[in-house]
Amino acid sequence: MKKEKTFGKKSIVVCEIIAVILAVLLLVYIFTATILSRQGSTRGNYESLNSGWSFIRSTGRTTEVSLPIVERARDREVLTIENVLPNVISPGEYVSLRAVDQEIRIFINDKLRASYASDPGYLIWDRPISKYLYVPLTSEDSGAKIRIEGVNNSKGNRTFTEVYTGELSAIKTKYMGDQLVGIILATSFFALGIVTIIAGYTMRVMIKAEMHLESMGWAMLIMSLWDLTQSDFRDFIFSNQNLIYAVPVMALMLIPMHLSIYMNWIQERRYQKAHTIFVGACIVNTFFWVLLSASRIISPEHAVETSFVFLYGELVLALLTAYQDKKKYGKITYSEILVGYVIVSFCGIFQICNFYIPGAKSDGMFLAGGFATLTFAAFINALKKMVLMQGERQAAIQTTELKSQFLATMSHEIRTPINAIMGMNEAIIRESSEENIVAYANDVENAGKLLLYLVNDILDFSKLESGKMNLVYAAYSVKKLISKSYNLIIGKVREKGLEIDIDVDENTPSVLYGDEVRIQQILINILNNAVKYTENGSINLKVGFEPGEKETINLKMTVKDTGRGIKEEHLGKLFDAFMRVEDAGVGRVEGTGLGLAITAKFVELMEGTIDVKSEYGKGSEFTVVIPQKIISENPLGKFTLVGADGQEEHKTLSDVKKYPGVKMLVVDDVQLNIKVVLSLLKKSEMEIDSALSGMECLEKCKNTKYDIILLDHMMPEKDGIQTLWDLRRDKGNINIDTPVVMMTANAMNGAREEYMGLGFSDYVSKPFNLTQLQKIIEKNLKLESN
Ligand code: ADP
């Protein structure tokens, strides 16, 4: 129950945080795209030298141009541009341009001052194909002739970028300004990747939701890395150009893997095989190219085409599997992701086209934009799923709630007639002098006890299942705990002619702190089973301890029998609810299959362990270890039984105690329950009055002073609690101080504490017997036991 509630709350908080972060990122995006796009173009101490250039082909044909220009050229054709440097050049100034995919030589007054060549052939990855060049100038260069030559080994487009002169820092700032939008976008995409990864892992860990957003986050992050390293601005970010040059290709190779992994989760692993094969192929491809590049057999950029093939391969795989889903289930639950995929496909095409457009920026923004859309789609999908899951959980909670409510009501309703049966039966046993009648009544009593036991099990199970079971901690005596459990089963042990021996470690601390009732229930359950499933031989109960963390011990209880044993294949399912092992060879044994399930759940609640060892046909051994706080370190000493030794008490009229003159009021809406009390206390010489409702009770209390009131809880109109409060509020009432005892079929653990907290003097659960009633009367009237 608690878990589900936190799920609901946490998921909303997580969604809120994510939504805010995404909104902020979107703002950054819009801000940079509009306001910052022109920044840096007119700032600083530099001059652009873009006009007045003569462009000279190898044939000598000359034209006037303004930079930048893109011109087609033949293989090894030298293209030249010429101009004159500004008339005044101060020391420390530079002339600068960007070399793009060709060998560039810069001459000033016909003297070679700088050159840059990307590596030729297959080894080109040592030197990137584009680079910003800076040539230092002196004052002697004022008004000098500048000639720039470009040559390439292949035919195709040649670019001459803008040329600037001025201070180095000013030129660099200008370049940065030109790239600012790209830089900010790329970092935003990077941040989006990080946020998505964090959101993905948070969802996995905190709300155990299988959205796997992190896989999409990784794809986005890698995409942004591609962006940063593929861009025209990488010169400004990364100092080692050679290493960075390989990153874009590697990034491209990794992206389809993450997408496929993500898709696999989104499709709830229905096409796991296809995705696994695909991811495997991606991994092999990556290793293959990395190996070839590292050994310099190829340049990394030669893997670009294959990487794009894999990227589109993943898109095709997604569409094909989605088509299968549509065919099989009639609907696709992740259509927004598919839309995102299609957008990425188009963006990819733009990106490839952009690559071939001469002079275009190569910062990969198209593809990154597509991925950002896909990531948003993944968020939408995750949100959708969470809303759906929450709805399902709510429905499941409601069903469990209804079920446990039903079981609780059932057990309450069944208890009421059992109370009548057992109470009246006890009256028969006490009053009858005919032996055979008493024998019949004893059988009724045994059957009643069994029925009660079953009802208790059902109630416990429903409480445990809905998480409403609370443990009630108190100090208890270990000796008493063992004795009580022993006394409860010894009757059956004797009946079956079995041996029983108890072996208790003398050093066990005598008083511990824990839920005695439930520990006893655990012990009785396994002892009971040992008796139930053993036909001859013996049962051995061993109680001991192992030292635990400070001030605790691990209480260890082992029950060993020489019974039918359990087959190996059944051992694993033993603690499942309703699991019964029917054995054709052996007679049917009564039971519901709930005992061990309840036992295991209690042990778990107490953070203990339960183990079973068994050999089929030879016997079983159940061991329970539960951590318990120590209240008294005093060793328990030699174990001796306390209390009755399981001998059936012989009930006769003579043990009905007399309380002459004591006035009692019994309030219950079920006449039969009143009759039970009257019958049991018939010979007690008490004056017993009765009321069938809370109102009648209050009415009677006005006129007659009672010594004790037994009050039922569940009554129509005014229930027991309300009746008690009304009585206590009525200041002049003669019964304002009369002890009121809750007499109810609510037998839940902790019920006593709850009722006492509400103002009741005592509590007795139905069905009750005479002994219990007598104890209640004596305790509350402070009578000496006579
Ligand atoms: P129930 O006894 O009501 O069937 P339990 O949950 O207590 O339910 O036990 C589940 C099953 O485990 C039983 O049906 C029985 O087959 C097996 N079992 C439990 N304890 C023993 C034991 N001591 N010896 C043999 N079989 C056992």
What pLDDT, in 10s, does the model give residues 605-656? 999 999 999 999 999 999 999 999 999 888 988 888 876 554 555 666 667 7
Rounded to whole angstroms, how far apart are CA atoms 554 and 339?
58
Backbone dihedral region of 717: left (phi > 0), alpha (psi from -120 to 50 degrees) or beta?
Answer: left
Q: What is the C-alpha separation between 149 and 78, in angstroms, rounded?
A: 6
Cα–Cα distance, 340 to 371 (Å, whole number):
8
Beta carbon of 599 within 6 Å of any ligand 1 atom: no
Give the pLDDT band of residue 17 (cuts 50, 70, 90): low
- The response to whether residue 522 sits with its C-beta less than 6 Å from ligand 1 reads no
Residue 83, strand partner residues: 146
- Give CA–CA dist 652/662, Å, rounded: 22
pLDDT at 478: 93
**pLDDT (tens digit per residue) in 90-138:** 888 899 988 887 888 999 998 998 888 765 444 444 556 677 889 999 8
Share of the chain above pLDDT 70, in %: 87
Which residue's CA is the nearest one to ligand 1's atom 3? 591
26/741: higher pLDDT: 741
The residue written with tokens 């037998």 in the block is 747
180 CA from centroid of ligand 1 (Å): 74
Residue 589 Cα to ligand 1 middle (Å): 9
Q: How far does the centroid of ligand 1 lie from the alpha carbon of residue 459, in Å? A: 19
Q: Is 548 in the pocket of ligand 1 (CB under 6 A)?
A: no
Task: Give the atom of ligand 1 at the shortest distance from the alpha carbon of 593.
Answer: 8
- What integer pLDDT is reported at residue 1 of this predicted model? 34
Who wins on pLDDT, 479 or 591? 479
The total of other beta-carbon atoms located within 10 Å of residue 462's CB is 20
Angstrom distance (rounded) from CA 271 to CA 276: 9
Cβ-contact 102, 212 below 8 angstroms:
no
Centre a 10 Å sphere on the Cβ of residue 445 and count the other Cβ atoms it contains.
Answer: 19
Q: What is the amino acid identity at position 372?
A: A
Residue 365's pLDDT is what?
80
Sign of the torsion angle spanned by Cα atoms 240, 245, 250, 255: positive
- The pLDDT value recorded for residue 5 is 38
Q: What is the pLDDT of residue 39?
A: 40
- Count the residues in the chain: 786
Which structure tokens are listed for 68? 């930048």
Element of type H or E holding 502: strand 499-504
The DSSP letter of residue 625 is E
For residue 649 the two structure tokens come to 């008490």
Q: What is the dihedral of CA 702, 705, 710, 711, to 10 degrees?
A: 10
Tell whether ligand 1 has an atom less than 6 A from the beta carbon of residue 25.
no
Nearest CA to ligand 1 atom 23: 530
3-state secondary structure at position 52:
coil
Rounded mean pLDDT of the chain? 83
Cα(448) to ligand 1 centroid in Å equals 22
Q: How many other C-beta atoms are found inside a 10 Å radius of the C-beta of residue 187?
A: 16
Give the pLDDT score at 131.
Answer: 78
Q: How far, in Å, is the centroid of ligand 1 from the Cα of 374?
A: 55
Cα–Cα distance measured from residue 29 to residue 446, given in angstroms and rounded to the nearest whole number: 79
Q: Is 343 in the pocket of ligand 1 (CB under 6 A)?
A: no
Mean pLDDT of 178-201: 86
